[in-house]
Amino acid sequence: MVQLFFFKIGTLKTVCLNDYDVIKEAYVKRSDMFGNRPTNLRIVNQLINQKGIIFAPLGPHWWEQRQFAVASLGFGSRDIEDRVLEEAATMQAELLKTKLKPFNIRRILQQASTNVVCYMVFGKKWDYTNQTFQNIMQSLDVVFRTSVFFLPGNVFPYVPGFLKRGDKAIASVEKVLQLVRDEVKEHKEAFNPDDIRDFIDSFLLEMQNQTNIENSTFTERQLEMTVFDLFNAGTETVSTTMWWACLLMILNPDVQNKVQEEIGLVLGRDGRPSMAHRSQLPYTAATVAEIQRYGAVSPIGLPHAVPRNTEFYGYVIPKDTMVFAGQWSVHHDPELFPEPDKFDPGRFLDDEGEFKNNEYFMPFSMGPRSCMGKPLAEVQLFLLFTSLLQHFKLELPEGATRPSSEGVMGITLAPQPFELVAIPRD
Ligand code: HEM
């Protein structure tokens, strides 16, 4: 396999790292150089201006903001599990409404994962029929199905027309940003330092505490962009993984049966799943991992960049080159995962049937810039998947053609739209 390759589109120089050891060398061992983000994407600069977490330059400010977000979002708390299960219950109620008719489950999954983030950030969740909520979903759809890093305005920044053209994606980003601004405004008006309700309140409190600190990074603009990042990074990734989960379950009914048998033995039909059950549900945990390996929802990750000419494996990577890590290539490398196109949860089980990690499994990337939301993502995937299969059997509609397991590329890799039937198990 080609370990790394270079290409140039317009003004954008790009390197793809396509091999586990090469990615590790760059993102872990030489993270001081490769842990940077691009600063030459004109559209991204215009919209984000290096604020938030994802596009913040490597350094103490980025680290301070990232640590603050992890601490105040309370990943791993019991409260988060409760909230995910509440969303799982809403999802089940929506599935019951389909009354054994074929349907596309995508929107329901997206609503569930978005509401979890809304709760943590805004302190509220939306009714699935709410128009504002529906508008957010539509905007996120547009953003994620576009290769935003390669928009014409980024590739040809000096051609003025390109900054405006094609930009349903930009308009969609603006819509999500407007919603965030409205929420921040409402939170400021209702702010009570003795009643911190959610992430926005925690941030406003920190802004107040740091009023006298010169050059504090706790500014309103930073708040808006961090919330925006949490939306972008934390909703689509989870719901697209769950979408792969549904596809892979209807394509592999034997695996689905085994998962349901295991869940039945440990939780029965009504037992409430929790992360504490993960060790008792090794086949289920292995299936979730195999879904993440197979689907590789973030197939090339987010762009990194080198801020200076950098020697690497005998080549010189020029200053400002964007760097992507080929997660899909690693997850489908036959030397690391034999018969990579086979869906086989057994890869993540040891001889005793216990869950076994695989060092080449890298859905959240690696190094200091790796996914900040991994603990939350793991809770959501395990609990949403377990409770979905506890209550429903997913099937291909009668007479339907077997859907393809080839993904569609945007920022994430998503399944091609397909329909399924959700049969209640109670
Ligand atoms: C299945 C779910 C998820 C997957 C597969 C995933 C994957 C990733 C990947 C591949 C990156 C890029 C890392 C890099 O640049 O090397 C990333 C970054 C990030 N993720 Fe996730 N993610 C998921 C869920 C979440 C959630 C739930 C949140 C938060 C609510 C989140 C927040 C972030 C943030 C803030 C970053 C940027 C980190 C930084 O630049 O320091 N992610 N994620």
Nearest CA to ligand 1 atom 18: 371
Ligand 1 atom showing the smallest separation from residue 304 Cα: 15
Instruction: Place 43 in a pLDDT band, splitting at 50, 70 and 90.
Output: confident
What pLDDT shows up at residue 237?
95
Residue 165 has pLDDT above 90, yes or no: no
Residue 25 confidence (pLDDT) above 90: yes
Return the higher-pLDDT residue of 413 and 1: 413
323 lines ligand 1 (CB under 6 A): no
DSSP assignment of 70-85 equals: HHHHTTT-HHHHHHHH
For residue 296 and ligand 1, the question of a CB distance below 6 A is answered with: no
Tell me the average pLDDT across 107-116.
Answer: 94
pLDDT confidence bin for 168, thresholds 50/70/90: confident
pLDDT, tens digit, for every residue of 76-92?
Answer: 677 899 999 999 999 99
Q: Is the CB of 238 under 6 A from ligand 1?
A: yes
Residue 381 has pLDDT above 90, yes or no: yes
- Residue 203 Cα to ligand 1 middle (Å): 20
Work out the number of other CB atoms within 10 angstroms of the CB of residue 302. Answer: 18
Q: Is 301 in the pocket of ligand 1 (CB under 6 A)?
A: yes
162 confidence band (pLDDT: 50, 70, 90):
low
Residue 371 C-alpha to ligand 1 middle, in angstroms?
3
Indicate which residue's Cα is closest to atom 11 of ligand 1: 371
- Comparing 19-23, 196-200, 228-232, the range with the smallest average pLDDT is 228-232
Res 164 pLDDT > 80: no
Does residue 389 have its Cβ closer than 6 Å to ligand 1?
no
**Which residue, 297, 385, 377, is CA-closest to 91?**
385
160 band by pLDDT with thresholds 50, 70 and 90: low
How long is the chain? 426
Rounded average pLDDT over 335-354? 97
Q: Give the closest residue (by CA) to ligand 1 atom 43.
A: 371
Is any atom of ligand 1 closer than 6 Å to the C-beta of 414? Answer: no
* Residue 325 alpha carbon, nearest atom of ligand 1: 16
Mean pLDDT for 48-62 is 92
Query: Which amino acid would we find at residue 31?
Result: S
- What burial letters (b/e) apply to 138-169, b meaning 16+ CB within 10 Å? ebbbbbbbbebbebbbbbbbeeeebbeeebeb
Which residues make Cβ contacts (< 8 Å) with residue 338, sequence separation at least 6?
none
Read off the CATH number of the domain in which 228 is found.
Answer: 1.10.630.10
Name which of 274, 251, 298, 200 is nearest 395 in CA terms: 251
Looking at the structure of the chain, the number of domains it has is 1
Supply the angle between the helices 60-73 and 199-209 in degrees, to the nearest 10.
130
Which residue type is seen at 85?
A: L
Atom of ligand 1 nearest to the CA of 366: 16
CA of 292 to the centre of ligand 1 (A): 14
pLDDT-based confidence at residue 134 (cuts at 50, 70, 90)? confident
Q: What is the span of the domain harbouring residue 261?
A: 4-424
Q: How far does the centroid of ligand 1 lie from the alpha carbon of residue 364, in Å?
A: 6
Ligand 1 centroid to residue 351 C-alpha, Å: 32
Alpha carbon distance 416, 410 (integer Å):
12
Closest Cα to atom 19 of ligand 1 = 371
- Are 381 and 87 a contacting pair, CB within 8 Å? no
**Token reading at 273:** 């799943």
How far away, in angstroms, is 424 Cα from ligand 1 center? 33
Ligand 1 atom closest to the Cα of residue 235 is 27
Alpha-helix runs per DSSP H in 2-77: 20-24, 31-34, 42-48, 60-73
- If you measure from the C-alpha of residue 116 to the centroid of ligand 1, how many angstroms do you get, rounded to a whole number? 15
Give the model's confidence band at 322: pLDDT under 50 very low, under 70 low, under 90 confident, else very high.
very high
Average pLDDT over residues 141-162: 69
pLDDT digits (tens, 9 = 90+) for 216-272: 999 999 999 999 999 888 999 999 999 999 999 999 999 999 999 999 999 999 999
